[in-house]
Structure 1
Amino acid sequence: MMCDQKDNRNHNPENHEETESFRSTLADHPLVAVLRAETAEDAIEKADALIEAGITCIEVTFTVPNAGDVIQYLVKRKGCHVGAGTVVTAQQVQEAITAGARFLVSPGYSFDVDMAAKDANVPYIPGVLTPTDIMAALAQGHRLMKLFPANVLGPGYLRGLREPFPQVSFMPTGGISIADMNDWFAAGAVAVGMGGALTKGTADQVKCKAQEALAQLQR
């Protein structure tokens, strides 16, 4: 279990400065596009469409073939804040960091990923769902967490979690739509990760949906 795992190295509990910097980025860009695609070329084409629409915080998942190449491409894009998602091994941490990823996200918690991220001083956002998950992540020093899969229990569940865990900043991800995005912010989310609702379809469709999502966010 997470709470039973120990490490004798001198780690900053949550890469405090780097994580606070990323939290500040989320305050300015609270819509994180979670990029999944069948090929690296398709991912790059859709990422370009997202950026053209005005979304600059993009999470490239390791389910994308050659995800490191996609991250490396996006790092060179001016004003793009790019991270790696679906990070489940320490090897993927190294690949993501080598490519230039500025944050790491997992569907759950991995002690190995956590240690590798802390060694590299890169923000790591673990996935949580239950109060037990949250307490375990808190014990490892985390205060920014991904609520996943968010759509299973809805915004009311997030509102309920915030009462016993006011110190935690939640980024719900999974099944969030443009229509219900603002319900999550009203429930207390600091940011939302949006995947299929943004990135399915052609590049032109992705751009249109991203513009619609940003307009909804401004409301």
Structure 2
Amino acid sequence: MNIDDYQPPLVAILRGLSPAEAPAVAAALFASGFRILEVPLNRPGALECIGIINGIKPPGALVGGGTVLSRQDVEAVFGQGGRILIAPNFNPDVVGLAKSMGMLAVPGVATPTEALAALAAGADAVKWFPAEALGPTGLRSVKTILPSTARVWPVGGIGAGNLGDWRRAGADGFGIGGRLYEPGLPMAELEGRAKEILAAWHAS
């Protein structure tokens, strides 16, 4: 698997998604142009949602788990058809297992040391987290010492209004949570937010 095959590199973070909502939410996001959906594991029903989305995703789309903290989490996500893990931290055991199973791994980092260690361990991209606290200036500095092939995805506080600023700082993709999806959000509003974010991406 190659992480660059999934375009645009925008991850819809579906924290709090319920199995009942999963089909409609996933369908709306896929129809809007999102190709990577993440269901964080620290909410009830997450694994069931991953399985549901895996069953309806279109070609060229990807679903996986977020807040993946352990080897058991990796195995559980894989068992539901998830093929990408996204974590708030860098755990070499978690990344190593995911890669051995043919999954994409995007661990969280907040320093140059963590970013370089994660990439050396086989991470396909690194999650710059928490982006709100680290800021675009920090990202710009870190990008100067990373390999030119490194993919850095800020997560935390990203939306249509500031996506361009982060792109200019060197962001290669994003994880987008509360400014895209919230439990119970009407589908029309979800679709509107998705289209605004995608438009901002294409304009950046």
TM-score range, shorter chain: 0.7 to 0.9
1:4 alignment partner in structure 2: none
Please state which structure has a larger fraction of its residues in helix: 1
1:106 pairs, out of 87, 91, 99, with 87
Aligned alpha-carbon RMSD (Å): 1.8
Quick one: structure 1 residues 159 and 216, their matched pair in 2 at CA, closer, same or farther if it must change by over 3 Å?
Answer: same
Q: CA deviation at 1:187?
A: 1.4
1:190 alignment partner in structure 2: 172
2:187 alignment partner in structure 1: 203
- In the TM superposition, structure 1's runs of 4+ consecutive aligned residues that sit over 4 Å from their partners are none
Q: CA deviation at 1:81?
A: 1.6
The reply on whether 1:75 has 2:57 as its aligned counterpart is no
More deviation in 54-63 or 96-105?
Answer: 54-63
More deviation in 66-75 or 32-41?
Answer: 32-41
- Higher CA-based Rg: 1
The answer as to whether partners of 1:35 and 1:43 remain within 8 angstroms in 2 is no
Aligned to 1:33, the other structure's residue is in SS state: strand
1:52 alignment partner in structure 2: 31
Cα distance per residue 1:82-132 (max 9 Å; x no partner): 121110111111111011112111100123312321331212111100122
User: Residue type of the partner of 1:209?
Assistant: R
Map 1:152-163 → 2, pairs under 5 A: 152-163=133-144
1:177 pairs, out of 156, 159, 170, with 159
The answer as to whether partners of 1:43 and 1:64 remain within 8 angstroms in 2 is no
Gaps of 5+ in 2: none
1:13 alignment partner in structure 2: none
Q: CA deviation at 1:38?
A: 5.4
The answer as to whether partners of 2:71 and 2:94 remain within 8 angstroms in 1 is yes
What is the number of residues matched between the two proteins? 198
User: Using the alignment, how far apart are the partners of 2:146 and 2:100 within structure 1?
Assistant: 27
User: Using the alignment, how far apart are the partners of 1:112 and 1:53 within structure 2?
Assistant: 35
User: Using the alignment, how far apart are the partners of 1:105 and 1:182 within structure 2?
Assistant: 23
TM-score by length of 1: 0.82
Cα distance per residue 1:133-176 (max 9 Å; x no partner): 12332442436211111111221211111112234320111111
